[in-house]
C-alpha cells in the first residue's frame, strides 16, 4: 500500500525552492515555519498519548504564532497544536493566515485532524498550504482544499444580524 502523500526531504534545497515557488512562500518563511513547528513540539503537554505535535503559522502580515497540543485527563477537552496556534493569532488580531506547518514524531507525517481542518478553514483561504513534517525532517504539502474538500466556511453563513428564510 502506498502512502497518500509524497514525502520530500527538507535538506533537498531544490525541492524546498520548488515548494516555496508553488505555494508562494519565501525560503526564509518555509525555514522559519519548519524551525518553529519542530521546536513547538517540546512544549507539548501530552502525558496520556505521548504524541507530541507542534504547529506554526504565519499571518498574511508576516507574523508567526506557535502552538503545541495540550491534553487533559478528560480526553475530549484536549486541544490540538494547530488550534492553539490559531487561537494565539486570532486573539492578537491576525485572522488571515498565509501558511500552516505541523510537526510530529512519526513518519510519514501526520496531517491535521478533521476538527483542526475545519478550524483552519475559518481563517484561511482554500489555497493555503499545510506543510506537514515528519520525525526525519521530511515533509509533504497539501492545500487546505485537498485536506478539506467540499468545505463549509464563513461565507456560507448569512451576514451577522441577517436571517435567511
Catalytic residues: 82
**Terminal CA-CA length for the chain:** 48
DSSP-assigned beta bridge partners for residue 130:
100, 142
**Angstrom distances, CA of residue 70 to CA of 76, 120, 165:** 11, 18, 41
The phi and psi torsions of 17 (rounded to 5 degrees) equal -60, -40
Q: How many CA atoms lie within 13 A of 53 on its CB side?
A: 23
Residue keyed to cell 508553488: 22
Q: Is the peptide bond before 91 cis (omega within 30 degrees of 0)?
A: no
- Closest by Cα among 50, 54, 82, 76 to 148: 82
What pairs with residue 101 in β-bridges?
56, 131
Amino acid at each position: 500500500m502506498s502512502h497518500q502523500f509524497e514525502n520530500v526531504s527538507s535538506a533537498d534545497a531544490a525541492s524546498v525552492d520548488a515548494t516555496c515557488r508553488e505555494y508562494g512562500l519565501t525560503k526564509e518563511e518555509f525555514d522559519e515555519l519548519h524551525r518553529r513547528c519542530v521546536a513547538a513540539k517540546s512544549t507539548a503537554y501530552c502525558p496520556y498519548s505521548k504524541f507530541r505535535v507542534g504547529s506554526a503559522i504565519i499571518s498574511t502580515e508576516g507574523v508567526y504564532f506557535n502552538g503545541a497540543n495540550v491534553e487533559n485527563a478528560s480526553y475530549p477537552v484536549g486541544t490540538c497544536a494547530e488550534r492553539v496556534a490559531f487561537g494565539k493569532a486570532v486573539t492578537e488580531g491576525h485572522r488571515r493566515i498565509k501558511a500552516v506547518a505541523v510537526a510530529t514524531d512519526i513518519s510519514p507525517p501526520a496531517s491535521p485532524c478533521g476538527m483542526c481542518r475545519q478550524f483552519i478553514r475559518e481563517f484561511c483561504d482554500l489555497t493555503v498550504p499545510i506543510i506537514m513534517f515528519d520525525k526525519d525532517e521530511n515533509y509533504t504539502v497539501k492545500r487546505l482544499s485537498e485536506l478539506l474538500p467540499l468545505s463549509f466556511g464563513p461565507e456560507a453563513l448569512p451576514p451577522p444580524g441577517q436571517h435567511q428564510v
